[in-house]
Structure formats: structure tokens, C-alpha cells
Structure 1
Amino acid sequence: MSPTKKNTTQAPNLSKQEKRIAAQARQKQKNRIFMISTIALVVILFAGLFYLASRESGSSKTAEFDYSSMPRLGKEDAPIKLVEFGDFKCPACADFTRLIKPQIVEDYVDQGKAALYFVNMSFIGPDSTTASLAALSVYHQNNEEFWKFYDAIYANQGVEAEEWATKDFLVNLAKQEKLSIDYDLLSKDIENKTYADELEQDNDLANENKVSKTPSLFVNGEKVLDPFNYEAIKQVIESADKAVANP
């Protein structure tokens, strides 16, 4: 009996050139897969960055403010309205007051082109609230003196982790700056939390406009992404000025 033949299929006997061509084809396929994966990863990365930038800017919707209820530096009818959100215990806010605010005042506020407004935020510590209540008391007594007090608090700012903005400190600071206000009323307003509801409204306003850090700056309702980039601030202001001139 002859041996049974097995039903097997043998691989073709490829030449060296054919093997090389096959290897090159496999490598090209790998390269295509790698390129497609890389492009997909880049697209995902840029989509993520765009999403974060959108969140950072808060919203494409222009913020709306009741400017009449805020401390104001400059002419009431100034066409450009800048709104700063700040916490008196915030070291970065003190830097903004020292480095950026003077340039805004010189270039725009003093020229009658813009007015600067302030919104109190109180999220760093309990004495953030105390400082804000004191500032609101001064504002309701005398808007011009508010800005002197504003500068004085930041110029004498204590360590962020320490509770330094006490009632006594703030009243004494107002006296030291010789503010034209009633110091006894200031003390009572702090102690009685006279403007607690107004401060809560300020904090609510920050939440409504997705303000999650201080300082934050808005120009005619448009949020400035970097409040420490003065050239960028100028561009937003000039753009807003053109929009007002050519509605």
C-alpha cells in the first residue's frame, strides 16, 4: 500500500527580491498606521486645548454688568468700561494694582476714554470678607476715597496664609491714609456686616461670569485672557473702542 498523501499547502518559495518587496510593503503599511494615529492624536490634542481655552474665556457671550452699583474710577460716561474682579488678600491682585492698573489709568482713564470698575471677591480666607466689607463701607461713603483705600490695602497687604485684614487693621489704615469718611461708621459697618448681601451679590456675579481666579479683567463685557499682558489689554481696549465708534 502506498503511503497516504497529506493535504498540506506549502508556502511559496519566494526569491530575495520578492521578500524585500513584501517587507517594504509591510513597512509602508506600518508607516501609514503610525501617521494616521499621529494625526488623530494631534487633532484630539488641539480639540482639548480649544475646549480649555473656551472654558477659560468663560463664554463667547459678552458679560453684562450693572456699572451703577460698582466703585468707579474715571468718567461715568466713558465709552470703554473695564471691570476688575479682585480679592484684597490675593497677591496677584496686588501685583496687578502695582504693575498694570497705573498704565490703564494713565493711557485711558485719565484721558477720559475708559473707566475702571471693581467687583469684590472673598474666597481666599475669612478676612477676605472683612476687607471687602470695609471696602464697600468706604465706597458707600465716598467713591473717590474707595480707590485710595483700595491702593492702601494692596500696598499694605499681609501674608496670604495669615489672617491680617482685621477690623482694627482696616480702620487704622483708613485713618493713616486720612480718608474723608466717618471712621466710626466704617468700624460699625465691618462689625455689623452691613454690606454682606452686596458682597454676596458680587461673588454671585463672579460665578455667573465663570470668574474662577483673581485678578480677572473684562473690557466692555469681554474677558481678557491674560490680565498681566498689557499689550493684549490694549488690543482689546482698542478693538472695543472701534466697536463703540462704529456700531
Structure 2
Amino acid sequence: MALSKPKKKQYRPNPNKQSKEAQRKGSNKSLIFLTLAFVAVIAVIIIGLNQQSKPASFDYASLPTQGSTEAPVKLVEFGDFKCPSCQFFAQNIKPQLEKDFIDTGKASLSFVNYTFIGPDSETAALAAEAVHQQNPEAYWTYYKTLYDKQQDERIEWATPEHLVQLAKDANLPIDFDKLRSDIDNKTYKKRVDKDNESVRPLNVTGTPTLFINGKKYTGSMDYASIKATIEKTLKG
């Protein structure tokens, strides 16, 4: 009697084992994804920290600048001519900076427009830029005049007519007809726009904001604190 060959067992996958294998692969993929995401976040943080520690670059030659171009400390003020806090800076802090640092050749001060308070913030900036282009030294007289004659920030006081009249009252050595024409035609709007576009990359969120040798000043906006930071910068 012939013996029948034993039947080969058919391979039947174990559903439980297959499920565990799928779970293991899924877990590995999730782990890889989380690891990559963590690495990406760390890289972004490192890049951000490096950018913060890296001094900002300013085109000092094109900015309205008071003081020696060779001064070891370069101050940059972001301001709005309608800003009350900027008025305080101009009237109470800047004169002391001039006496102790600017007039002595230790520091220079440059100005960048940040026109965010009202529509006439831009009009005032356009007027100031027009004065600067005609006579760089007259700019700082006009700067002082605009802040000394500043009105309530809630009203639109910086009209072309008023801005020209302020220049006349200050006896600026410029062509007043050209000033009016430059304001009306927005001749220097691109320059003002360029100033405003630099605000976000530099994390400027208000006025006045001060940079000292390219580094954003984060201390108190009082003269003693600013002076201490400048003196520290001078010592290297």
C-alpha cells in the first residue's frame, strides 16, 4: 500500500504578528519625522540667535548723520516726527548725547524714518528728507524744529503748507519752493519706503528705537542708561 505524501502546510501570515510589524514600522517613521522636525527647529533657533547677535548693517553715508563719520560709536535712531516719545528723546536725551559724545567726536547719530502713527508721519518724513537732500546740516535744525513744534499725534498737523512754514520760521538755508515741490511730488518716497522696509528685519516695534554700533539697544530709554552703554562700547 503506497504511503501518501504528507501535505505541505500552506503559509498563512499571522495577523497579530503582521499588525505588530506594521505598528513597529509606523513608530519608526514617526520617530524619524519627529527627529527631523526637532533638528529643523533647533537649526531655526540657532540661525535666529546668530542673526540677533550679528550687528545690523546701515548705509550711514546715505542717512542723515550728525557728527564725525570716523566716530568709533555709531548711533542710529528710528523715529517718527509725530511720536511724543521721540519728542522727549529729541529734547531731553539728544542734547546730552551731543555734549558728551557727538561734539567730542566719540559718537555720531543717524536717523531712520519709521512712519507709523498717521498719514502725515510720511509727509513729515518726506519734508525732512527733502531738506536733507538740499542741505545735510540744515536737516538737524529742521529735526529739532519738527519736534519742538510737534502737535497732538491724533490730528493731522504735518501738512505740506505747515511743514514749509516751519522751515521758513527756522530760517533754513534752502529753496522753499523746491521743498514744497518735493513734498507734493513725494520726490523722496522711495527713501522713506526703504527706511520703513528695514523695520521688520531689525525687529523694530516702536519709536524711538536706538541701535549702537549695529546692535539694538534694549535698555531703559533714559540718558544715564544710554550713556553707560555707549561708554561700555567705547571701551570695547
TM-score, L = length of structure 1: 0.73
2:161 aligns with 168
1:240 aligns with 233
CA shift for structure 1 position 236:
1.7
CA shift for structure 1 position 85:
0.4
Give the whole-Å Cα distance in 2 for the aligned partners of 1:184 and 1:231. 42
Pair 1:95 & 2:88 matched = yes
Q: Any unmatched runs of 5+ in structure 2?
A: 1-47
CA shift for structure 1 position 227:
5.3
What SS does the corresponding residue of 1:218 show, helix, strand or coil?
strand
CA shift for structure 1 position 160:
0.4
Q: Would you say the 8 A contact 1:89–1:157 is kept in 2?
A: yes
CA shift for structure 1 position 233:
1.1
Q: Would you say the 8 A contact 1:216–1:227 is kept in 2?
A: no
Q: Any unmatched runs of 5+ in structure 1?
A: 1-53
TM-score, L = length of structure 2: 0.77
CA shift for structure 1 position 75:
1.0
Q: Which runs of 4+ in 1 moved over 6 A?
A: none
What SS does the corresponding residue of 2:68 show, helix, strand or coil?
coil
2:75 aligns with 82
1:117 aligns with 110
Q: Calculate the aligned-residue CA RMSD, in Å.
A: 1.8
Q: Partner amino acid for 1:74?
A: G
Pair 1:61 & 2:54 matched = yes
Give the whole-Å Cα distance in 2 for the aligned partners of 1:118 and 1:59. 21
1:182-213: per-residue Cα shift (whole Å, max 9, x none)?
A: 10110000000000111010001122211110
1:27 aligns with none
Give the whole-Å Cα distance in 1 for the aligned partners of 2:157 and 2:58. 31
The count of corresponding residues between Structure 1 and Structure 2 is 189
Give the whole-Å Cα distance in 2 for the aligned partners of 1:161 and 1:137. 25
Q: CA, structure 1 residues 193+227, in 2 after alignment: closer, same or farther (shift >3 Å)? A: farther
1:21 aligns with none
1:177 aligns with 170
CA shift for structure 1 position 231:
2.0
1:130 aligns with 123
What SS does the corresponding residue of 1:201 show, helix, strand or coil?
helix
Percent of matched pairs sharing the same residue: 49
1:213 aligns with 206
